[in-house]
Amino acid sequence: MPIPKDSTSFTDTMADILRLPDETLAMSYVYLNRYQRFQSSSTPPDPLDSMREILFPAHRLLHQHNGASSDPIDQPLAVPSTMYDSLRATLVQAELMLLRTLGFELRIPLPLDYLPRYLERAMGDVAGASENYDSWGNEDKEEYGVVKDAMDTSFGRACRTKAIIACKNYQLTNLFPARAVALGCLHVVMEERGLRTANSRKEWVDDIASRKVDIDDFEEVVEVLTRS
């Protein structure tokens, strides 16, 4: 088995071994970048505090197993039990409170969430009045060799790959909304394939993203994607 050289390559390898979908892999990149941002913005922990977090529970467990105690707190925790359920609920509430305090989003949108819609709109302008393959049934698509979804086309797969790579980028993950990243990926793939928009960038961005993507964010995303 190849030896991963960093957290990203380790994530790639594990995703391939476990055969995880692209969305799961992209989300893992996002979490890695969010964690790096949190680590860089937080103050380093006091080594003594970290040591206490280990020593105190270890000391408690040592004495608990060396001799029986009449104190109910020192008794082994039974599962299931009322005490276990109470502790579990308390821990869950504490975790949620910590996540909210840190501003950690529990539901993070991915560029992949917006790509299918943006791709349909962009390719709809190109297709014009040609055949609407989305109205075909699956049997007809299989009979005539038509892919089931626009994201399964060569152009769609290229956009998907570009969006997954974008999730690896610390700047794109932490500083820009997923909508802008998705639209930037779509535009860069178009340019790489020799395609251009019929109208100005501003008009194209407003049309494809329904005016939900800031043009300045879009321009910066395209610049980062082109540079990386």
Compute CA 128 distance to the chain's CA centroid, rounded to the nearest angstrom: 33
Between the alpha carbon of residue 131 and those of residues 126, 127, 180, the distances in Å are 12, 8, 30
Helices (H), 19-110: 22-41, 47-66, 82-102
Task: Confirm whether 103 is domain-assigned.
Answer: yes
DSSP 74: G
Which pLDDT score is estimated for 146?
A: 63
Instruction: Write phi, then psi, for 108 (nearest 5 degrees).
Output: -100, 120
Q: Is the dihedral of CA 115, 118, 123, 128 positive or negative?
A: positive
How many other β-carbons are positioned within 10 Å of the β-carbon of residue 86?
10
Report whether pLDDT(129) > 50. no
**Three-state secondary structure call for residue 136:** coil
Task: Please report whether residue 4 resides in a domain.
Answer: no
Q: Half-sphere exposure of residue 127, counting CA atoms within 13 Å on the CB side? A: 13
Q: Is the pLDDT of residue 101 over 60?
A: no
Looking at the domain assignment, is residue 37 inside a domain?
A: no
Question: Same domain for 219 and 114?
Answer: yes
Residue 199: per-residue pLDDT:
87
Domain assignment of residue 20, yes or no: no
Q: What is the pLDDT of residues 15-48, one digit of tens each?
A: 988 899 999 999 999 988 888 887 777 665 555 5
- Please indicate, yes or no, whether residues 140 and 217 belong to a single structural domain of this protein: yes
Tell me if 121 is assigned to some domain.
Answer: yes
The predicted structure's pLDDT at residue 223? 97
Q: What is the pTM of this model?
A: 0.69
Mean pLDDT confidence for 121-133: 63
Percent of the chain with pLDDT over 70: 68
Instruction: Report the number of distinct structural domains present in the chain.
Output: 2
The verdict on residue 5 lying in a domain is no
The per-residue pLDDT for range 136-175, each reduced to its tens digit, is 667 766 665 666 677 888 999 999 999 999 999 999 999 9
E strand segments, 65-209: none
> Measured between alpha carbons, how far is residue 167 from residues 38, 90, 184, 226 in Å?
17, 34, 12, 14
| pLDDT band with cut points at 50, 70 and 90 for residue 132 | low
Q: In whole angstroms, what separates CA 48 from the centre of its chain?
A: 35
Pair (168, 117) in one structural domain: yes
pLDDT attached to residue 115: 96
Tens digits of residue pLDDT in 52-64: 555 555 555 555 5
The chain-wide mean pLDDT, for the chain, equals: 80
Residue 33: count other Cβ atoms within 10 Å of its Cβ: 19
Q: Are 118 and 174 in contact (CB under 8 A)?
A: no
Domain identity same for 147 and 117: yes
User: 3-class DSSP state for residue 154?
Assistant: helix
Is position 22 within any domain?
A: no
The phi and psi torsions of 103 (rounded to 5 degrees) equal: 70, 25
Phi/psi region, residue 19 (left: phi>0; alpha: psi -120 to 50; beta: rest), is left
The domain in which residue 93 lies consists of 71-108
pLDDT of 202:
95
Residues 162 and 155: their CA atoms lie apart, in Å, by 11
Number of Cβ atoms within 10 Å of the Cβ of 186:
26
170 and 93 within one domain = no
Q: List the CATH number of the domain containing 139.
A: 1.10.472
- 12 in any annotated domain: no
